[in-house]
Amino acid sequence: MSVVNLGSLPTPMVYYAARRTHADGCAAICVPNGNGSPFTLKWLIGETVPDAEQVDVLKKTVENGEEKAVNGAPEMRSLDVTYDYVAWLQDTWFDSPGMKAQVVLDTCGGPWSGRARRYLQAVFPKLVFTELGNDEEPTQTIAEEVDRTRAHLGFILGKDGGQLSVVDGYGIPYDPAELNWLLIQSFGLSLQGEVFLHDSLCPPAILQSAVRFGAATQEVSGGDAGFRRAMSVSSAIFGADSTGHHYFRALCGNNDALFTTCWILDFLAHGNRTLAKYRETIPVMR
């Protein structure tokens, strides 16, 4: 194989690099998040999460010592995709109307630390971003910071790189279901004839909203890997779980908290409404 070392990156940027280079596969070793969780491996073969059979074949190959070195194999090389990733975000939202607002970010000491504010500022130069690096109680901390600085909204980018939470201008958090409903509204009529993926905890109000826009709904199990695999198989336009992870066809079925943040900022700018105003239209989530 020709192996490319991407360095230390948020997992969504690894997925981006795989798409950008048309790689046959990619892998990311995810460090523990501090709550006793082990190291985890997220990987793709092509654009698909390996299924149980593929994983079993690989395990048996390794256990049986069948892997062999190949003479003349290419040396590992390094690649910095940082600038290309930011340029892609800029190109994606080059026509965003923009808005003047103050935004607070909390990267929770995770992989977006030191990156989120710089990247978002490059995409939305009219906005003013403040980045926190709080590692404990991020929701409470960002709510207090939004209230203290009179910011218009806040985003919490989780430690796995894909999870996202939002706080409105009053410092009141959206729960995951409310955020999923907001994202369904952002798609609007573009859901016509498309598939929306959800987990078993998705409230009826969200499903009803997706159906009204003309989407077919499909329940998914199996967590992150299940969603990414289902996105690939169904060619769904969007998927959302109950923990704050959002999957887009534009990302080849993967999730990316920074991409979702850009998506929401652009939606708010086009609608010329705040998160607090949208909250007034959210139906009861049961």
pLDDT string in tens for the chain (286-residue length) = 789 999 999 999 999 999 999 999 999 998 766 566 678 888 888 878 888 888 888 888 888 876 666 677 778 899 999 999 999 999 999 999 878 899 999 998 889 999 999 999 999 999 999 998 766 667 788 988 998 889 999 999 988 899 999 999 999 999 999 999 999 999 999 999 999 999 999 999 999 999 999 999 999 998 888 999 999 999 999 999 999 999 999 999 999 999 999 999 999 999 999 999 999 999 988 7
Sign of the four-CA dihedral 212, 215, 220, 223: negative
Q: Where are the alpha helices (DSSP H) in 26-153?
A: 52-63, 82-92, 116-123, 138-149
CB 178 within 8 A of CB 256: no
pTM of the complete model: 0.92
- Phi/psi of residue 31, nearest 5 degrees: -75, 160
Using CA atoms, how far apart are residues 282 and 62, in angstroms rounded to an integer?
51
Residue 40's pLDDT is what? 83
The closest alpha carbon to 246, from 259, 234, 237, 255, belongs to: 255
Q: DSSP character for 75? A: P
Structural tokens at position 143: 């709510």
DSSP string of 165-190, one letter each residue: EEE-TTSPBPPHHHHHHHHHHHHGGG
